[in-house]
Structure 1
């Protein structure tokens, strides 16, 4: 093949082409005319002016001609078209032969496609059938899966239900077998059993009542066997471990008592066993402390106060220790302070039940000390000669009665014993005071002339002071308002001591003058008051004594004023004013005219000159200058009041002292007040 850039083959050139074209007959020659054909001329001009080397189509045609084999140049020039057409026919025949093969293959392919389409149609039909069956199987499988999941859930629920409402073999064996010990495993199984019992009560409130009844019935047998086993173990433990002096409370015993609370009869039986064991143990320990050991309490029997104090201290210590042991046994502290339940608390437990159990056991345990304690204290109280010792003993017993009352119930045996002994001690104390008072009244001695307090009064004051100090240092005073304790009035003791003493003082000066009696009684009362000043609980008695002193000071002031009136000459005038009739003029009375009255009042100036602020010798026998000053001030006030009444009476026209009554009065009331200003 010749490339387009090469020159055309020598058989064909431009000249031959043109000659060929010109030699061919033209159809247009049949219609020649003198007019030029513009269209032909244009095409001819285009052909003549075109460059063969630049026309790609011509190059392509020439190249195609050069490829034809066995092409004769002469033949080509004569019949180029035929040659080309034959060539084209041959080519087309080869193409047709080749294409017929393709057609046959396509026909075979079409046949196979139809067969395949038929197979696909059949297969599609089968697939549709299979799809329908598969959908049914999938739906059935889904249903089966749901049923399976439901069944699995039911199995889980059933398993959990069984776990929740049934016991396993180990738990049943642990609860019912007599060979297995009572340990934590037992209490865990019992806790599970209790929880099942409690949960069954919830079932009875739902639609599953039948199941709840059946489960409760089946569990009741195990429960009875378990409680019977627990009761026997607790009873043995109570007898063996709680009868000694030293007790180590085990957690198993605590759990046992907590569990037995669900069986009140068994629980109360165990409490009775514990009470009996502890009563005997405490009683033995108390008797041993009294009579045996390195320093038995009985050795202090000669010292009443110490003897009773040691006994009560031992009882108090034993009671406190017993209470602490019982609280730990019942775990009461945690039950009171914690709102949570432990693994044995399946029901809401009343704290009152635990408190009652602790207090009952404590009362029973300490009951063994009542009889020996009461007997020994009675022996000591009967032999007390001294009032101070008797009171200290009574106060000590009362102190421990109050203290023990905080640990025990009010009506417990030990509390009753202590309060009975307290009453008995105070009875003996008041009996001692009465005997002492009788002795004082039988042996009355007159005081000295200076009216100082007698020695017997000072001794009684010392005794009173010791009793006051003993009461003030005790717990009795601080617990007066406690509702669950006996109320104690210390005023009874003060009355029992002070009143007989005052009676004795009055009896000792009954032959003295009134002034001396008042002075001596004021001195004695003041001395008694001085012993009570520092104690607030004696306020009522001190106030009563102060009133007595005030009355006697007033009487002394009146006597002092009477003396001043006599010295000043105002006594007669004051007596006339008090005794005359209201309608009778004062001037009409004997020795009350203007001249006589002026003469009488003239003595007043000489009295005022002699008057001073010094205390009279009688009043100097008073124990305190304060009392002297009070009497003097009161007397001067009475004197000024008397002079004021006389002045008003003289100035009253109804009394007939003329137009100038002021001439009769040597001093005005203001002058008198200025003179006695030291007492105002």
Structure 2
């Protein structure tokens, strides 16, 4: 490219003959110009056709620019020479460097030759040594392999002994009674149980002798360990103090482990229950008498029998002691037998599955009932307090049978009901103590009913004599006081029934209904309205006694219905009295069927009661009756203790009387108006009226009657 550039930059010949450009003074002709312009045109075409965007061309121009080469004739001639010189010098330097590399390669080749020689010498020595020691190496390798096999077998044997064989110390800890039941015992026991479980792997091999031998030895040791644990727990139970909040943790742990042998565990529970029953019986006897079962007097205890004169307190103190003992026993046994993680439950379930009697049973397919720890705990507590409960039952039965007070009998039954509900929540529905409470409550209620019936039998004579003032008899007032005391007691009780009113109905039937029936029988022997007044007084007193209590609402409604019925009877009697004493009964009876219409007037004229002399007499009799009518009517109900009811009954009767009077008045006014209309033409003719008007003979108005009877 440099040569092309240099050629393109050559100047025309110095003589100017080869130039294709004509001088200014030279005349130009077309033929000469065409011939002289072809070489120059070719050069220019070459220059113009060169792509200046070509990278090599740009690099060549950049190189020329770096050298500072100017566009001169000398420079253009020298440029090629300089470039060739530089190329020659660069080639010489490269040849020199390659010469040095060749020298180094010769030295490396010489070194490699020496190494190959040494390698061949060493290889010959190694081959000779290997030939000499090959037999020894084979023997050593065989010994090493044998040693490795022996070490592996030794490790397996050691691991087997550690996992499947109990050490002498562990066997001694499990079986010897002289060794304590401590952490070492429980660790050995856990290992023995693990050995039994893992022996299933050994039984899976063809040769089962090893697994059977291990299982036989381990099972024997394990059985001896559980027997040792069983005897140790029985020994601990003899001196175990449940009142101590810090119960021995080793006993709890031992019980949870022994639960894996349900038969042994149940025997321990039986032994424990017998011991605790005796202890609690002695403690209850000490609390009752202040003297222990052995006869030693304890001055620190205040005997319950000191309050035996107060029967209710005496029974209450005994029941309170029994409840306190049951609660304390349950709390202590809950800590002792019911573990947080359910270990005893798991142990019993596992023991049931593994015991021989279950495995040999024909009913292996049936589902055995699952162990309920709460139920078992309740049963154990019930068994513990059974001895004290028997003493309690004997004492309470004696108190119930010797009691002759009706109220006290019911209070005692209510107290027993309270503790029956309490014990049912504490020990469940299936317990001996709860059964005792139920029987005692039933016995107390029977005594209450018996005393109540005896009391009613003694009052048969009083049922025949009605008080002169028609007030509630003394036996009813006494029975209501007694019933009020009973209802106050029942109000504070814990009724087991959801319907307290229905639950109290039998009590009302025994302590209330007989007296009310006696009052009703007494009322049959007296005349009305005294009988209704007497019964209303009795029923009102009964209603007042029952009203403060919410569990007698239905009975109060029944009493109110009966009171309303007798009040209606009194109302009818008062109304009849007003009609009779006022002298208007016949007049009311005669005019009552007649409507207030013109058609009724002719019939009125024919009535005997509307004749002038009869109507005048009735008016005079009414005038004589009205001034004291209300007071006389109230006097009829003077024995009715409910003054408001007496006033209401009289006012309602008077209102009914006024309504009847208003009907009569309207009929009389209608008759007078019709008569006046018929007599008007006669007055115009000068004729006189012969018959007087009804209103002239009977002038009283309804308004006057209402005022006088209000």
Q: Residue 427 of structure 2 aligns to a residue in which SS?
A: coil
Kept in 2: contact 1:569–1:600 (CA 8 A): no
Output the CA distance in 2 between the equivalents of 1:606 and 1:621. Answer: 28
Residue 183 (1) aligns with residue 182 (2): yes
State the partner residue of 2:114.
Answer: 116
State the partner residue of 1:625.
Answer: 643
Output the CA distance in 2 between the equivalents of 1:316 and 1:252. Answer: 29
Moved more, 385-394 or 409-418: 409-418
Matches within 5 A, 1:364-403: 364-403=383-422
Output the CA distance in 2 between the equivalents of 1:188 and 1:629. Answer: 94
Output the CA distance in 1 between the equivalents of 2:501 and 2:570. Answer: 41
> Tell me, which stretches of 5 or more residues in structure 1 are unaligned?
1-105, 130-147
Task: Give the counterpart of 1:318 among 293, 308, 325.
Answer: 325
Shift of residue 433, structure 1, vs aligned partner: 0.6
Shift of residue 590, structure 1, vs aligned partner: 10
Output the CA distance in 2 between the equivalents of 1:109 and 1:204. Answer: 73
Change (3 A) 1:117 1:354: closer
State the partner residue of 1:266.
Answer: 264
Output the CA distance in 1 between the equivalents of 2:121 and 2:667. Answer: 157
Shift of residue 427, structure 1, vs aligned partner: 0.4
State the partner residue of 1:234.
Answer: 233
State the partner residue of 1:481.
Answer: 498
Kept in 1: contact 2:654–2:709 (CA 8 A): yes
In our comparison, the structure showing a higher alpha carbon Rg is: 1
Q: Residue 634 of structure 2 aligns to a residue in which SS?
A: coil
Residue 329 (1) aligns with residue 329 (2): no
Q: Residue 498 of structure 2 aligns to a residue in which SS?
A: coil
Shift of residue 481, structure 1, vs aligned partner: 3.3
Shift of residue 198, structure 1, vs aligned partner: 5.9
Task: Give the counterpart of 2:518 among 500, 504, 513.
Answer: 504
Taking structure 1 as the reference length, the TM-score comes to 0.63
Output the CA distance in 2 between the equivalents of 1:205 and 1:568. Answer: 120
Output the CA distance in 2 between the equivalents of 1:185 and 1:577. Answer: 116
Kept in 1: contact 2:592–2:663 (CA 8 A): no
What do residues 155-178 of structure 1 show as CA deviations (whole Å, max 9, x unaligned)? 999998987776565444322333
State the partner residue of 1:24.
Answer: none
State the partner residue of 2:355.
Answer: none
Output the CA distance in 1 between the equivalents of 2:191 and 2:675. Answer: 119
Task: Give the counterpart of 2:313 among 298, 306, 322.
Answer: 306
Output the CA distance in 2 between the equivalents of 1:357 and 1:631. Answer: 68
What do residues 349-406 of structure 1 show as CA deviations (whole Å, max 9, x unaligned)? 8995322332222222222124332332222222222211221222222222222222
Taking structure 2 as the reference length, the TM-score comes to 0.61
Output the CA distance in 1 between the equivalents of 2:605 and 2:156. Answer: 129
State the partner residue of 2:15.
Answer: none
Q: Residue 514 of structure 1 aligns to a residue in which SS?
A: coil
Kept in 2: contact 1:401–1:415 (CA 8 A): yes
Residue 456 (1) aligns with residue 475 (2): yes
Output the CA distance in 2 between the equivalents of 1:620 and 1:265. Answer: 84
Q: Residue 421 of structure 1 aligns to a residue in which SS?
A: helix
RMSD of the alignment, in Å? 5.4
Moved more, 447-456 or 267-276: 447-456
Kept in 2: contact 1:239–1:273 (CA 8 A): no
Shift of residue 308, structure 1, vs aligned partner: 1.8
State the partner residue of 2:286.
Answer: 288
Kept in 2: contact 1:191–1:344 (CA 8 A): no
Q: Residue 406 of structure 1 aligns to a residue in which SS?
A: helix
Shift of residue 536, structure 1, vs aligned partner: 0.8
Matches within 5 A, 1:434-473: 434-444=453-463, 446-473=465-492
Output the CA distance in 1 between the equivalents of 2:441 and 2:605. Answer: 73
Query: Number of aligned pairs?
Result: 531
Output the CA distance in 2 between the equivalents of 1:351 and 1:379. Answer: 42
Output the CA distance in 2 between the equivalents of 1:312 and 1:364. Answer: 17
Change (3 A) 1:382 1:114: closer
What do residues 444-471 of structure 1 show as CA deviations (whole Å, max 9, x unaligned)? 3645443333333322222111111122
Change (3 A) 1:252 1:351: farther
What do residues 7-51 of structure 1 show as CA deviations (whole Å, max 9, x unaligned)? xxxxxxxxxxxxxxxxxxxxxxxxxxxxxxxxxxxxxxxxxxxxx
Kept in 2: contact 1:255–1:344 (CA 8 A): no
Moved more, 262-271 or 464-473: 464-473
Q: Residue 444 of structure 1 aligns to a residue in which SS?
A: helix
Matches within 5 A, 1:58-73: none
Moved more, 520-529 or 267-276: 520-529
> Tell me, which stretches of 5 or more residues in structure 2 are unaligned?
1-103, 128-146, 292-297, 351-368, 678-692
